[in-house]
Amino acid sequence: MRIRVTGIQQFKDRHNKWRRYHRKSRTPISMSLKGAALAAEVARLDEMVRAKEAKPGTLRLLVIDYKAKSDHWAGLRARTRKDYERVFAWIGDEGLDTPIIDITAPDISELRDKAKTQHEYKFANQFLTTMKMVLQHGVEKGLAASNEAAKVGRAQKPKAAFDADTDDDADGANRPWDKEERDFVLANAPIHLLGPLAIGLYIGARQGDILRMSKKAVAGGWIRFTASKNRKRIEAPIAEGLSAILARLPESEATTLLVNSKGKPWTSDGFRTSWGKWRNEMERLGHIKPGLTFHGTRHTVATVLAEDGWEDRDIGLHLGQDSAAMPKHYSRRAKHEERKLALSKSVQKANKSVKPSV
């Protein structure tokens, strides 16, 4: 991959020998440096020039001091440093030349909102985090009187009307289903709804992932798929109760595991409508309580496992939320499978075999 480097001057001298200089500082740069090494040297020299040009008491000089002396900056990964640099670039020359004494919490709040409008809430929060760490460095080194960014709240994620990978419920409560509700739904839901609901209640997969599962996802007593949210490969053993329900699924020409009442693959809107109508009718008849959501099945699985004594990391393993440290803790695939089978038994115990009425 070619790396374009700007800010240098390169030419042949009178002895026909190549020379290279940093434009702003006129510092010689070795011709042996190439690619990333050359870019890093130019960046270092650029930083030196900015340090000389920076006025005392400005945010620019504080940022330079933070990069040069802060243990926090030294400990950041390269990818995270790029996020910080993106914020510094967004603040711009005029913002960096602002006297620190003039930076107030309302100013930072206004910039947070501007960042959210121009980009998104994640960038707005990256801006806020960056300012907090830089100003905290300033407070510790006596370069800033207070950390004004620490007084500002984080930008909130906009609420979507509906997300097939989260839930069909606008208020976001997603409470766990109680035992009576689980028993009733597993025994009485029509088969085209029962398949998705059962996978949710036994495995805790997200609605969008369940509706997209192919027939090949089920094999050898396991369900295997890739979670769309974090791209993790999920491998979950099929408990006895879930196996009985999957065996009743109607045959279809679709490639997806689950189909609607017409034998066609589910769409997110189609499932939301069908599930919502049936749920509302069951609620009206008093069979279930208000507030039952599909995403609540995921919360239900987590709650059931917690009540059965499993630790957070084990619950994360079952739900596909295991951290990067998990493979080190469960060093071999066999241990993973053994633990998942035990987790599955806990869920099976909570969802005791219920004879369907349809």
Q: Are residues 212 and 307 in the same domain?
A: yes
Q: Are residues 312 and 230 in the same domain?
A: yes
| CATH code (residue 105) | 1.10.150.130
Q: Are residues 12 and 61 in the same domain?
A: no
Residues 6+ apart with CB under 8 A from 147: 132, 135, 136, 138, 139
Q: Are residues 122 and 92 in the same domain?
A: yes
Residue range 138-163: mean pLDDT, rounded:
82
List the domain range (segments joined by +) for residue 13: 1-53
Residue 224 lies in a domain: yes
Q: Are residues 205 and 316 in the same domain?
A: yes
Q: What's the pTM?
A: 0.49
Residue 56: band (very low, low, confident or very high) from pLDDT cuts 50, 70, 90 = confident
* In the predicted structure, residue 332 carries a pLDDT above the cut 90: no
Residue range 155-179: mean pLDDT, rounded:
61
Query: From the CB of residue 289, how many other CB atoms can be counted at a distance below 10 Å?
Result: 12
**CA–CA distance, 229 with 160 (Å, rounded to integer):** 16
**CA–CA distance, 325 with 67 (Å, rounded to integer):** 29
Q: Are residues 110 and 143 in the same domain?
A: yes
Residue 170 lies in a domain: no
Q: Are residues 86 and 47 in the same domain?
A: no
Residue range 304-321: mean pLDDT, rounded:
78
**CA–CA distance, 98 with 108 (Å, rounded to integer):** 12
**CA–CA distance, 235 with 11 (Å, rounded to integer):** 59
**CA–CA distance, 65 with 50 (Å, rounded to integer):** 11
Residue 173 lies in a domain: no
Q: Are residues 294 and 319 in the same domain?
A: yes
Residue 73: band (very low, low, confident or very high) from pLDDT cuts 50, 70, 90 = very high
Q: Are residues 286 and 314 in the same domain?
A: yes
**Number of structural domains, the chain?**
3
Q: Phi and psi at residue 167, in whole multiples of 5°?
A: -170, 170
Residue 207: band (very low, low, confident or very high) from pLDDT cuts 50, 70, 90 = very high
